[in-house]
Amino acid sequence: AQKVTQAQTEISVVEKEDVTLDCVYETRDTTYYLFWYKQPPSGELVFLIRRNSFDEQNEISGRYSWNFQKSTSSFNFTITASQVVDSAVYFCALSGDRSNDYKLSFGAGTTVTVRA
Amino acid sequence: DAGITQSPRHKVTETGTPVTLRCHQTENHRYMYWYRQDPGHGLRLIHYSYGVKDTDKGEVSDGYSVSRSKTEDFLLTLESATSSQTSVYFCAINRGGKETQYFGPGTRLLVL
| pLDDT tens by residue, B43-59 | 999 999 999 999 999 99
Residues of A in CB contact (< 8 Å) with B are: 4, 6, 33, 35, 37, 43-45, 47, 50, 52, 91, 93, 95, 97-98, 101-109
Of B56, B98, B106, the CB nearest to A102: B98
CB pair distance less than 8 Å for A104 and B101: yes
Residues of A in contact with B9 (CB under 8 A): none
CA–CA distance, B49 with A15 (Å, rounded to integer) = 42
Of A37, A101, A108, the CB nearest to B41: A108
- Closest residue in A to B40 (Cα) is A108
Q: Is the peptide bond before B105 cis (omega within 30 degrees of 0)?
A: no
Q: Which of B33, B42, B50 sits opposite A108 (nearest CB)?
A: B42
Q: Does B51 touch chain A (CB under 8 A)?
A: no
- Is B88 at the interface with chain A, CB within 8 A? yes
Output A57 or B66, whichever has higher pLDDT.
B66
Q: How many CB atoms lie under 10 A from the CB of residue A56?
A: 12
pLDDT at B2: 54
Nearest 5°: phi and psi at B85? Answer: -95, 5
Q: Are A35 and A106 in contact (CB under 8 A)?
A: no
Q: What is the mean pLDDT of residues B22-44?
A: 94
How confident is the model at residue B97, as a pLDDT? Answer: 60
CB atoms within 10 A of CB B62: 7
**Which SS3 state, helix, strand or coil, does residue B26 take?**
coil
- A49 close to A31: Cβ distance less than 8 angstroms: no
Q: Is the dihedral of CA A67, A98, A105, B50 positive or negative?
A: positive
SS3 B99: coil
Which of B62, B82, B75 is closest to B17 using CA atoms? B82
Q: Print pLDDT tens along chain A (116 aa).
A: 899 999 999 999 999 999 999 999 999 999 999 999 999 999 999 999 999 999 888 888 899 999 999 999 999 999 999 999 999 999 999 998 888 888 999 999 999 999 99
CB contact B50 to A (< 8 Å): yes
Burial of B84 (0-12, 13-18, 19+ CB in 10 A): exposed
Yes or no, beta carbons of B33 and A104 under 8 Å apart: yes
Give pLDDT, residue A1.
Answer: 81
- Please tell me the predicted confidence (pLDDT) of residue B10: 98
**In whole angstroms, what is the distance from residue B52 CA to residue A41 CA?**
34
- SS3 of chain A: the string is CCEEECCCCEEEEECCCCEEECCEEECCCCCCEEEEEEECCCCCCEEEEEEECCCCCCEEECCEEEEEEHHHCEEEEEECCCCHHHCEEEEEEEECCHHHCCCEEECCCEEEEEEC
Q: What is the pLDDT of residue B1?
A: 53
Question: Which residue of A45, A102, A109 is in closest CB contact with B94?
Answer: A102
Task: Decide if B106 and A44 are in contact by the 8 Å CB cutoff.
Answer: yes
**Residues B40-45, mean pLDDT to the nearest whole number:** 92
